Amino acid sequence: MKKEVAIGIDIGGTNTVIGVVDREGNLLAEGHTPTLTNTDIKNYLEVLTAKINETVFEIKEEIEVKGIGVGAPSSNYYTGEIVGASNLGWGDVVPFVQLLREYYDYPAIILTNDANSAAVGELMYGGAKGMKNMIMLTLGTGVGSGIIVNGELVLGHDGFAGELGHVIMDTNGRECGCGRKGCLETYASATGICRTVSELIATSKIPSELRKVPSGNFTSKMIFDAAEKGDKLALEAFEITGKMLGEAIANFVAFSSPEAVFLFGGLALAGDYIFKPTKKYMEENMCFLYSNKVKLLPSKLDGAKIAVLGASAVVWKELEN
């Protein structure tokens, strides 16, 4: 009997990763292709589908493809459209699923945003296995989120639920790419902690090796490395970032009372430097009903594969319903 598989596709700003994944989350084949941006979407689809076919080809005798799950920024699960993803440059509204259906007629062809697919991946194959209520926060360039309630992805009435990076923490706070001020992602992302370091350089007298680096060159990895060497300013930056993130999570908990909150992405790789202050401020700011009940955990999935695993997992979720 042929093995049932789903194809997971992760569309990043630079690269696209394709994975052929079975129901147990095993990656049977993998392919990569550059994400062609600022072009007619049809050009990209030609390249993408050729690469999909090539990736599947080697094992095509052994498998039965049940669907394709695509994770991409600004994606709408209900409509299958990518909306307002200016960095991809394919236009304001791209009917991605409809276009992909011109190439394939699998039972499920699904588009969802990358944080949602990461949440489903964690739920099906990672540390959230068996949970019914959890929140995944992806701390990368921005802050994304995928929320699971009663075992289901929270999509909202319009497919755009779960934008916790755009919860406002301070109405007079930092300018955000979304046009507003003080969004969580201006503080608690890999980019946010770089801004915090710049702010500390300006406002404090804490000595730091980071003062020698042009602020435009900061990376969260660099701040982590400085913290590892005991750099006080870097440590303070993690403390401030964890405070903001912990306060935010305490409020998220009052919404859906999850069993666990998972952190994933560049900033989460800093381990205790980010987890310890986040946990502390989360507990300090949490309503007593939830005290010491909600786990704060790192993603258990391989960072390089979570997006593809998650995108494929969404196919199985869809076929269940």
Contact residues for a second copy, defined by CB under 8 A: 131-133, 147, 149-150, 152, 154-164, 166-168, 171, 178-180, 183, 247, 250-252, 254-259, 285, 287-290, 293
- Residue 75, number of CB atoms within 10 A of its CB: 26
Nearer to a second copy, 18 or 294 (CB): 294
Cα–Cα dist 188/264, whole Å? 12
Cα–Cα dist 40/38, whole Å? 7
- Residue 211, number of CB atoms within 10 A of its CB: 12
As measured in angstroms, the least distance from the Cβ of 9 to a second copy is 23
As measured in angstroms, the least distance from the Cβ of 46 to a second copy is 30
Angle made by CA atoms 194, 195, 197, in degrees to the nearest 5: 65
Residues facing residue 29 across a β-bridge: 20
As measured in angstroms, the least distance from the Cβ of 263 to a second copy is 17
CB 181 within 8 A of CB 195: no
Cα–Cα dist 215/176, whole Å? 18
Nearer to a second copy, 179 or 216 (CB): 179
Nearer to a second copy, 81 or 231 (CB): 81
Q: Which two tokens stand for residue 176?
A: 């955000």
Nearer to a second copy, 63 or 88 (CB): 88
As measured in angstroms, the least distance from the Cβ of 200 to a second copy is 20
As measured in angstroms, the least distance from the Cβ of 87 to a second copy is 16
Cα–Cα dist 11/17, whole Å? 7
Nearer to a second copy, 167 or 319 (CB): 167
